[in-house]
Amino acid sequence: MEILILYYSRTGAVQSLAQHLGRGVSSIEGMTPRIRTVPPVSSVTEATENQIPETGFPYVCETDLTECDGIALGSPTRFGHMAAPLKYFLEQTTSQWLSGTMSGKPACVFTSSSSLHGGQESTLLSMMLPLLHHGMLIVGLPYTEQELSDTKTGGSPYGATHFTGPQNQSRLDNTEKQLAQKLGARLALTAKRLRSNP
Ligand SMILES: Cc1cc2nc3c(=O)[nH]c(=O)nc-3n(C[C@H](O)[C@H](O)[C@H](O)COP(=O)(O)O)c2cc1C
């Protein structure tokens, strides 16, 4: 069984979170992460991106959505909500929305921002909305995870987060890593349980 970890990242912070979510998914027996990204969008509408990115994870395609058993969706915080490339991709999922491809599958969200109170939670909540329209079942983090109460950086009951600092200088600290991995594991476990008890 596979969990699609779909993210956009320009400077690497959200990509780090994605990789830790992937470790969490792999910690559940029989579960494999499938990490995918989306192309950037251009203000020059005629410009097109290469079909395959020059570095990093492959671009997401329709079969990734069909074949996965759950989705983790990640984006940088941009003006308090998700980045345009991810939203642009989601707006191309009308056929999956109409056919219910993702309906009943579990999902979670993650983000990164350069200021601590600069909109992580609003970004996470806004990312849940299209997933709910798709009929997905949202998985969060409970306060029984001690790191949620202890954190001095990222981490939210609404999803995994990372605080990079104003110059994007901070790497994920141990608390942020732990919470990202725990969220990935919860998502994978939920997908597994739903598969055995549909
Ligand atoms: C256009 C733009 C808008 C941004 N808006 C916010 C914001 O509202 N709040 C915030 O804390 N950081 C904001 N940031 C900073 C990014 O969220 C932060 O650098 C993030 O960690 C980048 O993730 P990435 O390395 O995965 O690209 C913004 C950055 C850009 C480029």
pLDDT tens figures, 151-163: 999 999 999 999 9
Q: Count of domains in the chain? A: 1
Q: Is 23 exposed, middle or buried (0-12, 13-18, 19+ CB in 10 A)?
A: middle
d(CA 83, CA 72): 15
177-198 average pLDDT score: 95
Are 118 and 87 within 8 A, CB to CB? no
| DSSP codes joined into one string, 45-98 | TT----SS-SSSSPBP-HHHHHH-S-EEEEEE-BTTB--HHHHHHHTT-HHHHH
Amino acid (one-letter) located at 147: E
Q: Is the dihedral of CA 132, 19, 80, 65 positive or negative?
A: negative
pLDDT band at residue 100, thresholds of 50, 70 and 90? very high
pLDDT band at residue 98, thresholds of 50, 70 and 90? very high
Question: Which pLDDT value is given to residue 45?
Answer: 66
127-135 average pLDDT score: 98
Say how many Å lie between the CA of residue 119 and the centre of ligand 1.
10
Residue 42 has pLDDT above 70, yes or no: yes
149 is in which domain, residue-wise?
2-41+49-196
Residue 14 has pLDDT above 80, yes or no: yes
185-196 average pLDDT score: 96
56 lines ligand 1 (CB under 6 A): no
d(CA 130, CA 97): 9
pLDDT band at residue 180, thresholds of 50, 70 and 90? very high
Residue 40 backbone zone (phi > 0: left; psi -120 to 50: alpha; other: beta): beta
Tokens for 2, please give them. Answer: 């596979």
**Among 114, 168, 172, which residue has the most ligand 1 atoms within 8 Å of its CB, making it the best to mutate?**
114
d(CA 49, CA 97): 25
Question: Which pLDDT value is given to residue 174?
Answer: 97
Average confidence score pLDDT of the chain: 95
CATH number at residue 147: 3.40.50.360
164-189 average pLDDT score: 96
CA of 80, closest atom in ligand 1: 8
133-144 average pLDDT score: 98
Q: What is the pLDDT of residues 43-86, one digit of tens each?
A: 776 667 777 888 999 999 999 999 999 999 999 999 999 999 99
Are 47 and 75 within 8 A, CB to CB? no
Say how many Å lie between the CA of residue 51 and the centre of ligand 1.
26
13 lines ligand 1 (CB under 6 A): yes
Say how many Å lie between the CA of residue 83 and the centre of ligand 1.
9
d(CA 32, CA 28): 8
